[in-house]
Amino acid sequence: MGDPGGVIRLLVNGEEHRAQAGLTLAQLLTRLELPASRLAVERNLRVVPRERYDAEQLEDGDRLEIVTLVGGG
C-alpha cells in the first residue's frame, strides 16, 4: 500500500495526489483550498457527512469525488 516514508496515494476527481499518511479529509480540503461548507464528498463510493470531515482519516488508494455545491435561482 503506502510506501515506507508514510506517503499515500489518493485519486481525487480522477487525478492522482500524494499525501502524508494520517491526513484527514478536512486537511486535504484545506490543502486543495476548497471550502468544506460548499462541498459534497464521496469516499470510495460512500458519501461522507460534513461533520465527519475532521475525523475521516484517508488511506492509501482511496478514491474521492468532490463536488462543489452551487446555489442559485
Q: How far apart are CA 68 and CA 7, in angstroms?
A: 27
| 1, pLDDT greater than 50 | no
| 69, pLDDT greater than 90 | no
Confidence of residue 73 (pLDDT cuts 50, 70, 90): low
pTM, 2 dp: 0.86
| 7, pLDDT greater than 70 | yes
Domain boundaries, the chain: 7-68
Decide yes or no: CATH 3.10.20.30 for domain 7-68. yes
Dihedral pair phi/psi, residue 54, rounded to 5°: -70, -30
**What is the reported pLDDT for 50?**
94
- pLDDT tens for 17-46 read 999 999 999 999 999 999 888 899 999 999
